[in-house]
């Protein structure tokens, strides 16, 4: 929006009206011009593969099965990466959003409990 109005009014007056700092506007523009990182390119490719596998499974595969299928197809990705991309909206797993049978959410929750029990940090730590 600011970029559309800057020729007529200038950046500073528009930012002042929108209660934004000019530095925030400049940082936003810099991020938009920055090329995609290697991780972002990889994530975009994996998201497409995750969606393909998930759709091909009749939308029944969760992160674990999708990870295994990726490995069978020769695509290496950590399971936590598959889980992260699923949680970020790459695809929903079994059921509807907020469904108690949502595999991605269940695996993420189980992973948190496992980390808590194995590493003995947080409220469950022995003192």
> What pLDDT score does 16 carry?
79
pLDDT, one tens digit per residue, over 29-64 is 766 677 878 888 999 999 999 999 999 999 899 999
pTM over 0.85: no
Instruction: Identify the pLDDT of residue 122.
Output: 52
Domain parsing of the chain, residue ranges: 2-33, 38-122
| Long-range CB contacts (within 8 A, 24+) of 46-54 | 46/70, 46/75, 46/77, 46/81, 46/82, 46/85, 46/90, 47/85, 47/90, 49/73, 49/75, 50/82, 50/85, 50/86, 50/90, 50/91, 51/90, 51/91, 54/91, 54/93
């Amino acid at each position: 929006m600011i970029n559309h109005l800057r020729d007529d009014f200038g950046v500073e007056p528009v930012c002042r009206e929108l209660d934004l700092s000019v530095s925030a506007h400049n940082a936003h523009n810099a991020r938009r011009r920055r090329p995609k990182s290697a991780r972002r390119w990889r994530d975009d490719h994996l998201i497409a593969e995750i969606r393909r596998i998930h759709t091909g499974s009749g939308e029944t595969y969760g992160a674990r099965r999708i990870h295994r299928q990726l490995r069978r197809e020769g695509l290496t990705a950590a399971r936590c990466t598959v889980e992260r991309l699923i949680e970020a909206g790459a695809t929903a797993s079994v059921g509807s959003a907020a469904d108690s049978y949502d595999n991605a959410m269940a695996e993420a929750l189980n992973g948190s409990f496992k980390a808590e029990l194995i590493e003995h940090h947080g409220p469950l730590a022995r003192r």
